[in-house]
Structure 1
Amino acid sequence: MDAAERENHAAMKRWSKDAKIGEGTYAVVYRGRQSSTGRQVAIKKIKVGQFKDGLDMSAVREVKYLRELKHPNVIELLDVFSSKQNLNLVLEFLESDLEAVIKDRSNVFKPADIKSWMAMTLRGLEFCHRNFVLHRDLKPNNLLIAADGQLKIADFGLARDFADPGHKMTCQVITRWYRPPELLFGCRFYSTAVDIWSVGCIFAELMLRVPYLAGESDMDQLKTIFRALGTPTEQEWPGHTSLPHYVVVGNFPKSPLQFLFTAASADAIDLLSKFLIYEPRRRISAKDALYHPYMFSLPYPTHPSKLPKASAPMQPRPVHIEETEGQGAALSAKATKRKASEDPFENSKPVSRRLEF
């Protein structure tokens, strides 16, 4: 047995699997525990043998980025080991997700609660973007909630690094309801703004308690967006009519956000409008959003330990290993009191990474 095999064997001994808590086409998730301490973990078993050319690229990406990204608001990868024809990812165990909390009608959300969830999401996302990683599938189902109330960004199967602005990327990413219009129009050159649009949709969903822009197809998604925000003009979004999949969807008037979000503060409406700007280069960044007046106005964010929780444990999460951009496949559907003086980037350290131009 060589050194690599010995280390892999030792890793297998460190963890034990208990009950299955989720299953998809290419992966199964188990509740497990650390053999020496009894600590609960989640073990994601990826079926390597299912892929014609070996391991799927999305599994490699998930391991790569979670190895690099260490932050209180990003799920922690504890270990990786292989067994037979399977790759096993050992992740911290988180019982609930933001989608379950939103759907639990026994919960009453206060403005301070929404502000806390938004602050934690933006802190985790800012750390990813600062280290040149796009998540590309942000939605409530992928924002997991720890026992102490901390929100953590999870599921990096569609993530990728970015450095060269001229490098083509697939537009078939991000679950449809949270996908920005430039991707729906086939844009292949994009950056952090695609994640910011998703955050805006999540922000709106927290205030409405239902998905804000829920289309039934890509075309219907565009119509839904334009009905809500108005059809963009060439002045509002220069060049969008030249995107590869551009089609004329309809001419819808712009309706002020205040008409729907009647209980939201002026600062909340202003931040939401900056998340949902059509022109990607004008969308607010995660860093600037953390310094927006909304974050510093009363009421201050609720402490994570006092946030509403789902009344019942999270239902098993279907696990999908998405086809990669090299395969050109569409995204599969998936069943997913900070004071003003505090530093929004506390507890985060930059990642030193080699950028591939």
Structure 2
Amino acid sequence: MISLKSPAYGVPPEPPLKRQKLVGSALSESKTMTAQTAAPMADLSEQLDMQERKKYSKGKTLGRGTYADVFLATLKSDPTKTFAIKKIRIAAEQDRIGISYDTLREIRCLQELDHPNIIKLYSVFSTKDQNLNLVLENLPRGDLKQLYLDATIRYSPADIKAWMLMVMRGMWFCHSSFILHRDIKPDNILIASNGEVKIADFGLARTFVDPGQKRPMTHEVITLWYRPLELLFKAPYYGGAVDIWSCACVFAELVLRQPFLPAPTESSLSQIRTICERVGSPTEDNWPGVSKLPDYVATSEVTPQRTRAAWLAEFRILGEQGADLLSKMLALDPDKRLSAEQTLRHPYWTSAPRPTSLELLPKKGGGLETMGKDLTRRGGELPVRENGEAKNGRADGVARKIDFGGGLR
């Protein structure tokens, strides 16, 4: 029997260790330079870039976008080792210094995060055209959204438990490293060849604010359907609870095989209404202080908070423990929402059925192009819009093929 302290189960491991800084001109630690040392340092940096990019052979294009292109690559010294190279077009960036904050944030965060459930950044180098190249882990099985939209793939409650456990372990590691992801959604959870899921796309990530030195934080993060009410009400300060809400939406989505909180139009007000209808209306009784948030909107009709019985009725395949966990991850008041560590310590993970082992998890082929498309996208984007409205993202025509062990019921 596997110990509960094993990475396969809920209890978190030891606190994360910082990773060493990666080689590459764009990432080298800043140092005070004199006029005499600046030129030699620049030459050295260029040499390091050249050495780094010569290590890889570029293969086929996996995706193209206005922000970045993604290529398959192999290591020249060992062609069996494959990578995804994300080439970011600096010319297309709007930032005055030439590199957008999104790009810098993604690089800096991935430098600090080394965990089996977070996409790995191996190296960074620039090319002669000054574009940045991120050498990333190759994740050829696509993403969770592509997987659940495939009507031919059957999966069980134990499979959902395994996927979500890996997501939450990656999320715990981010928060333990004082990093908020701020754009968790199924499209940003990629799948490795062995079935492991990996959190990707750190373009909207940032470090936690020191509680003693609070500075206002932007509310314009997280794709709309996965955004919690505190951000929709423009809370100036927030923490890891925003990511937990998004993870809960992914959790529900894997069960329903369609988005849990898809607003009919791309507007904050529409999203607020959707949350109130599905989860409940925020009031001073269930969320003390909510009415003081800058964009708080009191609904004309107060919808009672969803009951335990209502959660269990819709998400019965998760069992009582799973429905309880989901409801606590979707608490309206962020102070009452479970933290990532509390989530991992919930009895759901050790209740029957146990999480499916990696080698037995359903896998989808042909995911390279999906990975390429996911990595070229900027953070926070909604699905493609039609007729001025956001797509509802529902898996129309896709049967809910969740295997209960004895067939569908």
Equivalent pair of 1:150/1:305 in contact (CA under 8 Å): no
Post-superposition Cα deviations, 1:244-279, rounded to whole Å, max 9, x if no partner, equal 112233422334212322333000011001100011
1:334 Cα deviation from its structure 2 partner: 5.4
Equivalent pair of 1:222/1:249 in contact (CA under 8 Å): no
Post-superposition Cα deviations, 1:25-77, rounded to whole Å, max 9, x if no partner, equal 22111111111111211111111122341100111111111111101111110
Equivalent pair of 1:207/1:261 in contact (CA under 8 Å): yes
**Corresponding position: 1:32 with 2:73:** yes
Residue 377 of structure 2 is aligned with which of 305, 313, 320? Answer: 320
After the TM superposition, which residues 1-357 of structure 1 pair with which residues of structure 2 at under 5 Å, given as runs?
2-38=43-79, 39-52=81-94, 53=96, 54-83=98-127, 84-95=129-140, 96-165=142-211, 166-215=214-263, 216-217=265-266, 218-251=268-301, 252-255=303-306, 256-313=310-367, 314-315=369-370, 316-317=372-373, 319-322=376-379, 331-333=380-382
Aligned to 1:107, the other structure's residue is in SS state: coil
Equivalent pair of 2:283/2:291 in contact (CA under 8 Å): no
Gaps of 5+ in 1: 323-330, 337-357
2:396 corresponding residue in structure 1: none
1:311 Cα deviation from its structure 2 partner: 4.5
**Structure 1: which amino acid aligns with 2:76?**
S
Mapped to 2, the partners of 1:206 and 1:214 lie a distance apart of 14
Mapped to 2, the partners of 1:311 and 1:44 lie a distance apart of 21
1:123 Cα deviation from its structure 2 partner: 0.7
- Tell me which moved more, 134-143 or 45-54: 45-54
TM-score normalised by length of structure 1: 0.88
Give the ranges of 4+ consecutive aligned residues of structure 1 lying more than 4 Å apart after TM superposition.
Answer: none
Aligned to 2:84, the other structure's residue is in SS state: strand
How many matched pairs? Answer: 328
Aligned to 2:132, the other structure's residue is in SS state: strand
Aligned to 1:317, the other structure's residue is in SS state: helix
Mapped to 1, the partners of 2:383 and 2:359 lie a distance apart of 28
Equivalent pair of 2:249/2:260 in contact (CA under 8 Å): yes
Equivalent pair of 1:132/1:162 in contact (CA under 8 Å): yes
Mapped to 1, the partners of 2:57 and 2:271 lie a distance apart of 43
Equivalent pair of 1:17/1:32 in contact (CA under 8 Å): yes
Structure possessing the higher radius of gyration over alpha carbons: 2
- How much is the aligned-residue C-alpha RMSD, in angstroms? 1.7
TM-score normalised by length of structure 2: 0.77
1:21 Cα deviation from its structure 2 partner: 1.3
Mapped to 1, the partners of 2:56 and 2:88 lie a distance apart of 16
1:288 Cα deviation from its structure 2 partner: 1.2
1:16 Cα deviation from its structure 2 partner: 2.1
1:101 Cα deviation from its structure 2 partner: 0.9
Post-superposition Cα deviations, 1:301-324, rounded to whole Å, max 9, x if no partner, equal 0011211112543534152345xx
Aligned to 1:67, the other structure's residue is in SS state: helix
Aligned to 1:152, the other structure's residue is in SS state: strand
**Structure 2: which amino acid aligns with 1:46?**
I
Equivalent pair of 1:104/1:311 in contact (CA under 8 Å): no
1:191 Cα deviation from its structure 2 partner: 0.4
Mapped to 1, the partners of 2:338 and 2:169 lie a distance apart of 14
Q: Do the aligned partners of residues 67 and 202 (structure 1) sit closer, same or farther apart at CA in structure 2, a change above 3 Å counting?
A: same
Instruction: Give the percent of matched residue pairs that are identical in Structure 1 and Structure 2.
Output: 45
